[in-house]
């Protein structure tokens, strides 16, 4: 077993299982970049190990359709074209993603059904229905020649979800009776005591908000929260409000959910965004994307009155039915400030007056329940920062059921037989930074270093005109500075003189070789600027041929 991502960070979930010459991969997620990764759109796992063993990779199995589990697929499939297995809803999301990257025509997407076993080489895989904040999610019970490896995927134990497809406790109990070699369990909410409430728990408070709202109601949640969208639509219908959907991701999700039967909407409930202004304010609910304050999302644009259809007026209510993802606080609170300036009533994290959001991940008691049900020989916490994995390992060890708890990190190789599990070496892992402007462009570390460098110390461009024929410098060097804090005339003049001096001390042959002359100018200027200002701007000499 080799984790390639997701053990030591949130996101980038990707796990390889290998028996002799057969490898299957569980999930292919992405991660959104931290602040210091300037200009990077997404981060995906380094799959060097899979590329080196290209001929052995049989398939990718997806537990569900969230970005941290399917977002890296375009990148991985552009390197390795292998079959992808997922549930119906998960594959609907995957199709849209692959179409965007022009990879759909060559992709081999195979549907798996909860409770229906299928075989891939030496592995026999049984998908088991679990509940989460998205629909159609599964855990994977993988029967290998040495025993059953059970991967929970993301889950919480919800026995009354809005779609009527509850968590399959019975299947896990059956597995427990047969014996489970190893359990890999989601660590996201290991810090939270008790149980995670059911998706239905948000209904009373949301009902209250719908009843109390006098004007337009703007409802924002994660576009993948199909249960939440369903509850909002049902409440809108109950309170006599028409629903307009604004935002590409939300539009896309509701369309897929309707096609696959997860949303059964009354005739005439949905209106076109262009029809909002024809409705009385108390007769409309606007489902809008942008709950995390993303700069170009529909809600962020509406907050600064820059959206064609979504106009927020004084007295309107904006409900953010989601949690704040760590790292997004600034953007969200900036957006809330703009909404407050428009005199809108903003309801976000109001934990005191009832629930407007529940998590999709199991809390401590559910994690204990799962360990109790399946009683594995070995236990490995997955999905989370190291501190979450460690706490989860302690929780499992404290129960006295598991024979051995193993803390793995990305790249560790864990070897099993029927009785033992031993770490044996490491493979190359890490993260690959991608600028995804339509095509998939990998951003090298050196590029990020340059971007950081530019953001801190700016750039200096010495511009020199050289006569190609004679090798003579035709005029005084120009110095252009951008983003460089210290820009007094003396510094610019001195820099000009230094460039001139470098040129004067160079032979005609050196001047004719632009690579050499650029390097000489860069070194001399760097030394001078560093000595004078203690700064290290990026220096890029530009030579113009005349």
Q: What is the DSSP letter of 224?
A: T
Q: Does the annotation place 383 within a ligand binding site?
A: yes
Look up residue 530 and give its two tokens.
């560093």
Pick from 412, 413, 418, 409: which is nearest to 378 by CA? Answer: 418
Q: Cα separation of 321 and 328, whole Å?
A: 15
Q: Cα separation of 19 and 23, whole Å?
A: 7
- Are 156 and 186 in contact by the 8 Å Cβ rule? The answer is no
Whats the size of the chain, residue-wise?
A: 546
Q: Alpha carbon 196 to chain centroid distance? A: 22
Question: What backbone torsions phi and psi does residue 405 show, to the nearest 5 degrees?
Answer: -105, 130
Place of tokens 């997004």: 328
Place of tokens 């007295």: 315
Q: Does the annotation place 115 within a ligand binding site?
A: no
Pick from 345, 263, 327, 335: which is nearest to 298 by CA? Answer: 335
Q: Does the annotation place 361 within a ligand binding site?
A: yes
- Are 108 and 83 in contact by the 8 Å Cβ rule? The answer is yes
- Give start and end residues of each alpha helix (H) in 8-118: 48-52, 67-70, 73-79, 88-100
Contacts 24+ apart (CB under 8 A), 446-450: 448/36, 448/37, 448/38, 448/39, 448/40, 450/538
Could you give the 3-state DSSP secondary structure of residue 378? strand
Q: Does the annotation place 350 within a ligand binding site?
A: no
Q: Does the annotation place 143 within a ligand binding site?
A: no
Q: Cα separation of 265 and 285, whole Å?
A: 14
Could you give the 3-state DSSP secondary structure of residue 144? strand
Q: Does the annotation place 282 within a ligand binding site?
A: no
Q: Cα separation of 70 and 90, whole Å?
A: 9
User: Is 343 marked active-site?
Assistant: no
**174 burial via Cβ count (<10 Å: 0-12, 13-18, 19+):** middle
Look up residue 150 and give its two tokens.
């059970």
Look up residue 51 and give its two tokens.
């590329």
Provide the phi-psi class of 194: left if phi over 0, else alpha when psi is between -120 and 50, else beta: left
Q: Does the annotation place 360 within a ligand binding site?
A: yes
User: Is 311 marked active-site?
Assistant: no
Could you give the 3-state DSSP secondary structure of residue 376? coil
Cα-trace Rg, the chain: 28
Q: DSSP letters along 188-251, please? A: TTTT--S-PPPGGGGHHHHHHHHHH--S-EEEE--TT-HHHHHHHHHHHHHTT-EEEEESHHHH
Q: Does the annotation place 41 within a ligand binding site?
A: yes
Q: Does the annotation place 160 within a ligand binding site?
A: no
Q: Does the annotation place 191 within a ligand binding site?
A: no
Q: Does the annotation place 392 within a ligand binding site?
A: no
Place of tokens 């009832």: 354
Active-site residue, selected from the candidate residues 361, 392, 410, 412:
361
Pick from 323, 353, 348: which is nearest to 335 by CA? Answer: 348
**337 burial via Cβ count (<10 Å: 0-12, 13-18, 19+):** exposed
Cα angle 280, 284, 290; round to 5: 135
Q: Cα separation of 446 and 488, whole Å?
A: 30
Active-site residue, selected from the candidate residues 27, 158, 168, 186:
186
| Residue list, annotated binding site | 39, 41, 64, 66, 68-69, 132, 154, 357-361, 383, 435
Q: Which residues are annotated as a binding site for Zn(2+)?
A: 64, 66, 68-69, 132, 154, 383
- Catalytic residue list: 186, 361
- Per the annotation, binding residues for Ca(2+) are 39, 41, 435
């Amino acid at each position: 077993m080799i984790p390639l991502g997701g053990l030591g960070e949130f996101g980038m979930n990707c796990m390889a299982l290998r028996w002799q010459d057969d490898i299957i991969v569980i999930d292919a997620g992405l991660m959104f970049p931290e602040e210091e990764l300037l200009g990077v759109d997404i981060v995906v796992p380094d799959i060097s190990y899979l590329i080196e063993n290209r001929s052995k990779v049989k398939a990718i199995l997806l537990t569900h359709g969230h970005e941290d589990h399917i977002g890296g697929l375009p990148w991985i499939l552009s390197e390795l074209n292998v079959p992808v297995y997922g549930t119906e809803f998960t594959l609907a999301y995957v199709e849209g993603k692959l179409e965007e990257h022009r990879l759909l025509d060559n992709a081999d997407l195979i549907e798996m059904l909860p409770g229906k076993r299928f075989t891939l080489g030496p592995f026999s895989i049984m998908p088991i229905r679990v509940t989460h904040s998205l629909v159609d999610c599964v855990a994977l019970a993988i029967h290998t020649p040495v025993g059953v490896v059970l991967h929970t995927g993301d889950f919480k134990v919800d026995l009354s979800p809005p779609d009527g497809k509850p968590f399959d406790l019975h299947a896990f109990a059956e597995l427990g009776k047969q014996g489970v070699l190893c359990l890999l369990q989601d660590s996201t909410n290991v810090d939270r005591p008790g149980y995670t409430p059911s998706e239905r728990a948000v209904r009373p408070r949301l009902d209250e908000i719908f009843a109390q709202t006098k004007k337009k109601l703007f409802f924002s949640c994660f576009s993948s929260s199909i249960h939440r969208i369903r509850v909002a639509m049902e409440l809108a219908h109950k309170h006599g409000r028409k629903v307009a959907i604004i935002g590409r991701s939300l539009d896309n999700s509701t369309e897929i959910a309707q096609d696959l039967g997860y949303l059964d909407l009354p005739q005439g409930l949905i209106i076109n965004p262009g029809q909002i202004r024809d409705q009385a304010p108390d007769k409309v609910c606007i489902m809008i994307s942008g709950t995390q304050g993303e700069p170009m999302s529909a809600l962020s644009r509406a907050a600064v009155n820059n959206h064609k259809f979504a106009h927020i007026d004084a007295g309107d209510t904006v409900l953010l039915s989601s949690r704040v993802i760590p790292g997004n606080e600034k953007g969200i609170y900036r957006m809330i400030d703009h909404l407050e300036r428009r005199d809108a009533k903003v309801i976000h994290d109001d934990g005191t007056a009832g629930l407007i959001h529940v998590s999709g991940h199991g809390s401590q008691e559910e994690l204990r329940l799962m360990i109790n049900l399946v009683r594995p020989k070995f236990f490995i916490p997955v999905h989370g920062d190291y501190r979450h994995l460690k706490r989860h390992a302690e929780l499992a060890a404290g129960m006295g059921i598991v024979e051995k708890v193993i803390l793995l990190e990305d790249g560790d190789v864990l070897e099993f037989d029927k009785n033992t599990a031993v770490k044996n070496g490491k493979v190359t892992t890490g993260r690959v930074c991608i600028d995804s402007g339509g095509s998939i462009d990998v951003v090298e570390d050196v590029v990020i270093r340059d971007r950081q460098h530019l953001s801190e110390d700016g750039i200096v461009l010495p511009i020199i005109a050289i006569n190609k024929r004679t090798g003579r410098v035709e005029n005084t060097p120009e110095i252009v500075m951008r983003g460089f804090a210290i820009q007094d005339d003396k510094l610019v003049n001195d820099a000009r003189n230094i460039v001139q001096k470098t040129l004067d001390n160079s032979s005609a042959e050196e001047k004719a070789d632009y690579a050499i002359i650029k390097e000489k100018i860069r070194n001399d200027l760097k030394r001078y600027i560093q000595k004078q200002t203690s700064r290290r701007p990026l220096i890029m000499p530009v030579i113009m041929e005349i």
